[in-house]
Amino acid sequence: MLLEHYVKITSHALTGRGHLANPFLSPTLELAISDNLVMHAVLAVSGIHCQHSTKDSEVLLATYKHYGTALKGLKYELTHWVEGSSSEKSLNLLLVAILMCMYEALGGNDNGALLHHVRAAREFCSHLIAKEPVVQSSPLAGMLFEAYAYFAALSHLEQRPILELAPEYDPILSNFDCIKQCETFGSYMGCAYRLYELIPTIARLVLYEKRSISRNHNPKIQALYEDMRRAVTGWSAEEDRVCSCAEKLAGMIVQNVLLMLLHECRIDEGQGPQHVMQDIQPLIEETMSLFETISQSPVSSVLAWPMMITGSMMLESNQRQRLLSLVGTHHTHTALADQIVRLLHWVWEGGDEGTFGITGLGKVARQHKTYLCYA
């Protein structure tokens, strides 16, 4: 049952682009047949996806068993894995690590496990990215590299990161050009990969440098802020890539959300957001219209994180209801959507001017002893 569900439904929900040849189908299933660890990971992902809609207790029990076996196996392999391991072995383990990331994302992970899987994936990416033949010849490897880049970039939006390695030393985050030539590139970031490259820096500014930016204390930080603002406003869909209309609109959503975050940087500690809302409000309206336009497109499956950030900056009740309606009717509704709704209600009901934006999301998450799941 779970394998059938994976083939017919789950595998198509794991990327933001419909593929005639989906690497999460044939290549992944071929590896699963010969590698039990991959098979357990595949069935765990299928189970967590299936169970959310069926509410079947037997499916949930089977899912937990597959997840536990895959997690235990991945930990063992990571402990015994060495740089000299074969490319084939490393690719299998990278696949398992990314499938574990998918499991946590689909399940609306709230205990921080997603970040541990991202860290494991980084080890295998670092080993594989230098092996040019693997990158050129394997659509699956290209897909996994981009999935890692997607999860790793978003992990910086959390104020409790455990990746430890600065973006400039990450083999992929430091330079997305190394995976641009992969056949499947664009499956997660579409034509907006240059914007995703900016996320770690923008996240650092809004999470750690708001006081400096709002008070114009540090010329270097202010210059970096202006550089980021110019980079985001100057972005346009890549001319050298063939992107669908939906992917271009998704890129505009990411662009708007990063601009919102840069406006959030101007809110000093203890201040409310009123003085920046004249800049943020039009972005919210445009972003909601874009969300509604592409809500039934495959690309919308990788836009949960901008939806959560946009919602965290909404002050008007009609906008909030509009967003909740969109989340509730999404064609790939998962436990992650439920978590987004829960977090946004905490932000909206916070009763504190400072509970706003991603700093507000982080604040309520810590208050409720949970983790954010940006995916």
Q: Average the pLDDT over 32-47 and give the result.
A: 97
pTM of the model: 0.94
CA distances from 234 to 140, 204, 291 (A): 32, 20, 21
Inform me whether the pLDDT recorded for 137 exceeds 60: yes
In this prediction, residue 237 carries a pLDDT of: 83
* pLDDT 10s digits, 97-122: 999 999 999 998 888 899 999 999 99
What is the number of helices (H) and of strands (E) in the chain? 18, 0
Q: Is 133 exposed, middle or buried (0-12, 13-18, 19+ CB in 10 A)?
A: exposed
* H-helix or E-strand spanning residue 32: helix 26-34
91 pLDDT above the threshold of 80: yes
Residue-wise pLDDT for 172-206, tens only, equals: 887 788 888 888 888 999 999 999 999 999 999 99
Report the amino acid identity of residue 361: L
99/288 Cα distance (integer angstroms): 30
How many Å apart are CA 103 and CA 113, to the nearest integer? 10
